[in-house]
């Protein structure tokens, strides 16, 4: 008889809650997130069929073109979360300000931050995209949250996760007790545990992930690291393949499963890098560390940074600890 247990994400979340002796609110938010992910996944799969491709003609707060599927994903997550009485506020990459739970609904003690659909420039190309999220506990006295609640250091995250809409849809989450991956079976509409207790391999499969077209804009230390990574004489250098999808969740997902190093450095054009600390770097850093990996901005551990703004950008180096330490030893000495 096949002894493998079949565990749905809902069952897993409830069992985690029992182990922690938690209240249930927290589990309900994760379960609602899994539900929203299924709805978004269905729509992503339909994107080539329905008249949803292309821009809406509007721009988000970063000045980038917003595509219809981003708006859809934003709306689904918001509507799955606004009325449950568990959140006090939310913050989304698509909104300039944080979003208090409306007065008509009860407010709770948790804060949800999310990037509803990352990598949206890839939608038209049938390249994998993703959703990223994190949960914090409210720290202010404001009933419906405040900016302070959304700008907590990543170390305060209670849970974080992402969904990758790839050749299959997967949801990966951590509530501070390891990292667990679930694959959506679309025929029954359930996320099933497929990757229990994920650890980032170290030593990794030798691959690095960076937009190397920007090499000339990088600092001398970053350029030196890249050159040495490929052909240096350190134990961690040489023998690499380059893998860059240009879709953060997918590039991170590969790095999580195979090990390696994902980089989005600062450069002459984007002195603070491109990725967002609150919505992208912090949740993925939490997951990387829970899986035995590491994440830095070049100098500092990502999770120790206190965000100054909701849409603050940061350089990001994330993956197998050995490689994150290696790049840190180059960039940390830059001065
Ligand atoms: P987005 O939030 O506007 O979709 O941009 C973020 C994306 C990431 O998914 C990806 O890692 C990065 O932009 C790629 O940027 P570049 O094209 O500069 O390499
Ligand atoms: Mg994004």
Name the residue with higher pLDDT: 18 or 244.
244
Mean pLDDT of 309-319: 98
pLDDT digits (tens, 9 = 90+) for 144-202: 999 999 999 999 999 999 999 999 999 999 999 999 999 999 999 999 999 999 999 98
Q: Is the predicted pLDDT of residue 67 greater than 70, yes or no?
A: no
Rounded to the nearest angstrom, the distance between the alpha carbon of 121 and the centre of ligand 1 is: 8
Contacts of 98 (CB under 8 A, 6+ apart): 89, 90, 91, 145, 146, 147, 149, 150, 310
- Between CA 310 and CA 90 the distance in angstroms is 11
Rounded to the nearest angstrom, the distance between the alpha carbon of 279 and the centre of ligand 2 is: 7
Q: Is the predicted pLDDT of residue 66 greater than 70, yes or no?
A: no
Ligand 1 pocket, 246 CB below 6 A? yes
Mean pLDDT of 76-89: 96
pLDDT digits (tens, 9 = 90+) for 90-102: 999 999 999 999 9
- Give the per-residue pLDDT at 180: 98
Q: Is the predicted pLDDT of residue 46 greater than 90, yes or no?
A: no
- Give the per-residue pLDDT at 236: 93
Ligand 1 pocket, 274 CB below 6 A? yes
Rounded to the nearest angstrom, the distance between the alpha carbon of 318 and the centre of ligand 2 is: 16
Residue identifier of the C-alpha nearest atom 7 of ligand 1: 119
Name the residue with higher pLDDT: 16 or 9.
9
Ligand 1 pocket, 119 CB below 6 A? yes
List, in order of start, the domains of the chain with CATH numbers: 3-195 (3.30.540.10), 207-332 (3.40.190.80)
Residue identifier of the C-alpha nearest atom 3 of ligand 1: 119
Q: Are residues 211 and 273 in contact, defined by beta-carbon separation less than 8 angstroms?
A: no
Rounded to the nearest angstrom, the distance between the alpha carbon of 273 and the centre of ligand 2 is: 13
pTM (two decimals): 0.94
């Amino acid at each position: 008889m096949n002894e493998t247990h079949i565990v749905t994400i809902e069952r897993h979340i409830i069992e985690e809650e029992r182990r922690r002796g938690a209240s249930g609110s927290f589990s309900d938010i994760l379960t609602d997130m899994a539900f929203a992910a299924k709805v978004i996944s269905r729509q992503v799969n339909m994107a080539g069929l329905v008249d949803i491709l292309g821009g809406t003609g509007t721009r988000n707060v970063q000045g980038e073109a917003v595509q219809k599927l981003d708006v859809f994903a934003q709306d689904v997550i918001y509507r799955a979360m606004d009325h449950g009485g568990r959140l006090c506020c939310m913050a989304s990459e698509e909104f300039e300000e944080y979003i208090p739970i409306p007065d008509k609904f009860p407010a709770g003690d948790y804060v949800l931050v999310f990037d509803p659909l990352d990598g949206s420039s890839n939608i038209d190309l049938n390249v994998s995209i993703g959703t990223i999220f994190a949960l914090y506990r409210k720290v202010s006295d404001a009933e419906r949250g405040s900016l302070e609640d959304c700008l907590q250091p990543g170390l305060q995250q209670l849970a974080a996760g992402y969904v990758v809409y790839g050749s299959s849809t997967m949801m990966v989450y951590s509530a501070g007790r390891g990292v667990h991956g679930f694959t959506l079976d679309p025929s029954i509409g359930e996320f099933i545990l497929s990757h229990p207790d994920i650890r980032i391999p170290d030593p990794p499969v030798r691959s690095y992930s960076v937009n190397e077209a920007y090499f000339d804009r990088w600092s001398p230390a970053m350029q030196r690291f890249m050159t040495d990574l490929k052909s240096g004489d350190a134990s961690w250098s040489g023998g690499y393949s380059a893998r860059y999808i240009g879709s953060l969740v997918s590039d991170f997902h590969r790095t999580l499963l195979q090990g390696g190093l994902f980089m989005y450095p600062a450069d002459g054009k984007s002195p603070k890098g491109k990725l967002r600390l609150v919505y992208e770097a912090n949740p993925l850093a939490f997951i990387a560390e829970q899986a035995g990996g590491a994440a830095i901005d070049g100098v500092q551990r990502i999770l120790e940074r206190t965000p100054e703004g909701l849409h603050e950008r940061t350089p990001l180096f994330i993956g197998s600890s050995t490689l994150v330490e290696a790049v840190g030893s180059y960039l940390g000495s830059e001065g």
